[in-house]
C-alpha cells in the first residue's frame, strides 16, 4: 500500500468528502475503488488490525445490500465472520476507509481522516 490509501466508493458522499480532505492537504493517496477491486482476506485483516473500532464497524449492517445478501448481525459477530462476509460481499464494507501506515480510520464522518494526518 502507498503511504496513504483510501478504500473509496465514488457514489458515496462521505467517501468523496474524505478524498477531498486528502486532496486539499496535498496528500497523494492511492485510491482503491474497492467495488471494482475488492480487498482480499489479507487486506481486510490488515484494515481490522489498523482500526480502533470493533470489527463489525467495518460492515454496513444497515445497508439494504446486507439484508439482500441474507445476512444478519449474527453473521458478523466475530472478527473471522467479518473477514468472511467482506471477502464474499465487498459491497457491504463501510466506506471510506483510509489507511496510513499501521493505522486506519473509517471516514464517517469524513473529518475522521484528520486523525491520521495530525
Full residue range of the structural domain in which residue 75 is found: 4-117
Which residue's C-alpha cell is 458515496?
12
pLDDT score of 68: 97
Please name the residues in contact with 46: beta carbons below 8 A apart, sequence gap of 6 or more.
99
Cα distance between residue 107 and residue 21, in whole Å: 10
Instruction: Indicate whether 113 pLDDT > 50.
Output: yes
pLDDT score of 2: 63
Catalytic residue check, 12: yes
Instruction: Indicate whether 99 pLDDT > 50.
Output: yes
The per-residue pLDDT for range 29-79, each reduced to its tens digit, is: 999 999 999 999 999 999 999 999 999 999 999 999 999 999 999 999 999
Considering the candidates 8, 12, 26, 45, report the single residue annotated as catalytic.
Answer: 12
How many domains are there within the chain?
1
Nearest to 50 by CA among 98, 109, 108: 98
**CATH number of the domain bearing residue 40:** 3.40.30.10
Q: Is 96 exposed, middle or buried (0-12, 13-18, 19+ CB in 10 A)?
A: buried
**pTM score, whole prediction:** 0.94
pLDDT score of 118: 79
Chain-centre distance for alpha carbon 46: 11
How would residue 1 be classed by pLDDT, with cut points 50, 70 and 90?
Answer: very low
Is-contact 64 71, C-beta < 8 A? no
Helix axes 41-50, 79-88, angle to 10 degrees: 130
pLDDT score of 70: 97
The whole-number average pLDDT for the span 98-106 is: 97
Amino acid at each position: 500500500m502507498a503511504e496513504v490509501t483510501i478504500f473509496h466508493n465514488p457514489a458515496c458522499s462521505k467517501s468523496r468528502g474524505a478524498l477531498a480532505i486528502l486532496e486539499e492537504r496535498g496528500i497523494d493517496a492511492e485510491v482503491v475503488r474497492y467495488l471494482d477491486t475488492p480487498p482480499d482476506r489479507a487486506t481486510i485483516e490488515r484494515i481490522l488490525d489498523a482500526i480502533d473500532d470493533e470489527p463489525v464497524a467495518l460492515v454496513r449492517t444497515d445497508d439494504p445490500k446486507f439484508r439482500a445478501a441474507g445476512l444478519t448481525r449474527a453473521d458478523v459477530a466475530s472478527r473471522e465472520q467479518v473477514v468472511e462476509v467482506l471477502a464474499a460481499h465487498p459491497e457491504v464494507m463501510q466506506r471510506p476507509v483510509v489507511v496510513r501506515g499501521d493505522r486506519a480510520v473509517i471516514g464517517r464522518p469524513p473529518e475522521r481522516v484528520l486523525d491520521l494526518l495530525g
